[in-house]
A and B are shown apart, each in its own frame.
Chain A
Amino acid sequence: MILNDFFIFMKQELMLLFIIFLLLLIKVGKDRSNESLLYLINLLLLINVIAGFILPGEGSLFSDMFRTNPLIALEKNMLNIGTLIISMQSYSWLKSHKHLLEFYILMISTLLGMFYMISSGNLLMFYLGLELSSIPLAALVNFDLEKKASSEAAMKFILSSAFSSGLLLFGVSLIYGTTGSLAYAEITSHLSTDPLQIFAFVLFLAGFAFKISAVPFHFWTADVYEGAPVAITSYLSVISKGAVLFVFVSVLYTVFKPLADVWYGMLFVLSISTIIIGNLFAIRQDNFKRFLAFSSIAQVGFILVGISGSSSMGTAAVIYFVLIYIFSNLGAFGVVSIVSSLTGKERISDYKSFYKTNPFLSWILTIALFSLAGVPPAAGFFGKFFLLIAGAEKGNYLLISIAALNMIVSFYYYLRIVKSVFMEPNESPIESLTIPLISKVALYICLLGIVILGLWSVVYDYIFTLSPIF
């Protein structure tokens, strides 16, 4: 009976564990060619995505340490889809990499950590999941073994994430000291606006802000994103950030609900500074990965606006936006990943007259950037629209108008790339690239995601019916 519950509730985690051990077994056995392995792994990840959608259970295990419900299962499925897309896009980079299986073992381990983090019902479980998801990521950032920049990025990442974990852990210890428990339900009933508890919450929030790279805590982002291999940059900016945001929303809206007035003010400052600084720095970047790093900082600012409103649609708007963000950011990163692994070019100025030689990639890049900027037919517009509505719930129109003005600023730097891709002349443009079929399929999935999510309201309604009301 209990064993049955175990297999239903932990289904997605067990699938990932199974894949990890299968890959370890393959590694221990005789050597196989990278290409056949890549097809096998992508097939396994595809099966994992499909199996995730079957029979989402609802309940908790290990005396409320681990809990699941259809919404949590949906969040995990979104992360699964993102990982599959990233894996397909990095085909041409991984084809010649000599540590292919280690790459996937580490990546799926981090995904497993994020799953435990999302399902946690206890701060201890949450912290374990967070560490499982961040320590292997440092090894992954270092996966361009020949490049020094990659090692430097890994060093910066592990130091800053250790520091942020320290802050978060200090906050957790103070919360434990003042409430007497680590379980979410217990904490909520013992929270008041006691100064020590607010201090603990500030530390806790700082740890989170590090992970989602909100502005005063964003300094590691650009350097790590630039040095890491493109596949890991996209993994960091989409999957890892998305997972932390899911936890962030649910923790703020359920566990720290008694402190809602306190964290409203903090999120107000965080979101405004994040949007403005992310935008201003993105304008001047020439490295594509650095540019996307700052653009992702700005996007997190919009998400924080949506969270700060604490409206009934806050959770749904954030999850919907992250879903759109997965597709649009991975569309842009997919093009960068393919170009970077085939030619080694990563600067924006290299992309001048990219359209003449690679029309397909140019269109994908353009649509993805339109969606990131939030131009109406693309899904990104609706995502930001819902976030701003959710943020307007408190009637703070200053915040909303600053966010809306910054959306216009962001048009400038997104469309600047579109302009150079289509219009600017270049003597030595990137040559016509032959894209591997599997990467092409991934780009089509991103394109479909951007178009369908914008036009088909069923997805948002479904997320809204699942999400809890604040």
Chain B
Amino acid sequence: MGASSLIVLAIAGIVFSAGGMMIAKIFVKGTKNPQKGQAYESGIKSTGTTWSQFNVGYYLFALVFLVFDVELVFLYPWAVVVKSVGITALIEIIIFIFILFMGFLYAHKKGALKWI
């Protein structure tokens, strides 16, 4: 054990991953055709470029959704212990929701919820 094991681990890691790639290189027949390079889209031929523009509004909606998603994740464990912790838990969750609510108000003020 000690430093030597770490070095052995590092070398083994490199050999393992590089070796796999080398073996694949040796045994694969190097045929190339345009269809191979295409993205697989449910068997249907893909058309157009993938670099198309999306409306930024989707992202803003997703972000605002995420805020309340996370809030909900925190609310479940809170709901389990609220009875035993008592009034402190109530105050803490009010502060927590207030903080998130401020974020929501900010998003609303910036017009993130207006659709186009």
Contacts and interface: CB of A to CB of B under 8 A. Distances in A.
Contacts of B106: 24, 27-28
B102 to A, nearest CB: 5
A196 B109 contact: no
A21 B102 CA distance: 8
A427 interface: no
B102 A195 contact: no
Interface residues of B, number: 8
B39 interface: no
A385 B99 CA distance: 47
Contact of A195 (B6, B99, B105, B109): B6
A147 to B, nearest CB: 21
Interface in A181-202: 194-196, 199
A27 B109 contact: yes
Interface in B95-116: 99, 102, 105-106, 109
A370 B40 CA distance: 65
A39 B107 CA distance: 25
Nearest to A25: B102
A28 B109 contact: yes
A interface, size bucket: under 10
A28 B107 CA distance: 9
Nearest to B5: A196
A28 B102 contact: yes
State the majority secondary structure of interface residues on B: helix
Given A27-B109, A28-B109, A196 B102 contact: no
A194 B109 contact: no
B85 interface: no
A285 B52 CA distance: 42
Contacts of A24: 102, 105-106
B2 interface: yes
Contacts of A195: 2-3, 6
Nearest to B98: A21
Nearest to B4: A195
Interface string A16-57: 000001001101100000000000000000000000000000
Contacts of B6: 195-196, 199
A28 B3 contact: no
A196 B8 CA distance: 13
Nearest to B110: A27
Nearest to A21: B102
Nearest to A105: B106
A195 B109 CA distance: 55
Contacts of B102: 21, 24-25, 28
B92 to A, nearest CB: 12
Contacts of A25: 102
A194 B3 CA distance: 8
B5 to A, nearest CB: 9
Contacts of A194: 2
A407 to B, nearest CB: 39
Nearest to A174: B6
A25 B109 CA distance: 11
A195 B105 CA distance: 52
Interface string B10-35: 00000000000000000000000000
A28 B105 contact: yes
Interface string A264-286: 00000000000000000000000
Which 8 pairs between the two chains have the least Cβ-Cβ distance? A195-B3, A28-B105, A24-B102, A28-B109, A195-B2, A28-B106, A24-B106, A196-B6
Interface of A: 21, 24-25, 27-28, 194-196, 199
13 contacts: A21-B99, A21-B102, A24-B106, A27-B109, A28-B106, A28-B109, A195-B2, A195-B3, A195-B6, A196-B2, A196-B3, A196-B6, A199-B3
Given A24-B105, A28-B106, A196-B6, 5 more contacts: A24-B106, A25-B102, A27-B106, A28-B109, A199-B3
